[in-house]
Amino acid sequence: MARVLITGSSDGLGLMAGQWLAEHGHEVVLHARNASRADETRRKLPAATAVLTGDFASLAEVHTLAEQANALGAFDAVIHNAAIEYREKKRSLTVDGFEHVFAINTLAPYLLTALMLKPKRLVYLSSELHRRGRTTLDDLNWERRAWNGTAAYSDTKLHDTLLAFAVARRWPGVLSNSVEPGWVATKMGGPNASGDLSQGPVTQAWLAVSDDPTAQVTGRHWFHQKERKPLAAANDAGLQDRLLEQCAAMTGVELAAS
Given the residues 86, 120, 153, 226, the one annotated as active site: 153
Q: Is 187 a catalytic residue?
A: no
Rounded-to-integer distance, Cα 241 and Cα 24, Å: 37
Q: Is 153 a catalytic residue?
A: yes
Partners of 27 in the β-ladder? 3
Partners of 28 in the β-ladder? 4
Rounded-to-integer distance, Cα 150 and Cα 138, Å: 17
Given the residues 124, 157, 187, 229, the one annotated as active site: 157
Q: String of b and e for 115-138 (b: at least 16 CB within 10 Å)?
A: bbeebbbbbbbbbbbbbebbeebe
User: What sign has the CA pseudo-torsion 86, 97, 178, 120?
Assistant: negative
- Residues annotated as part of the active site: 153, 157
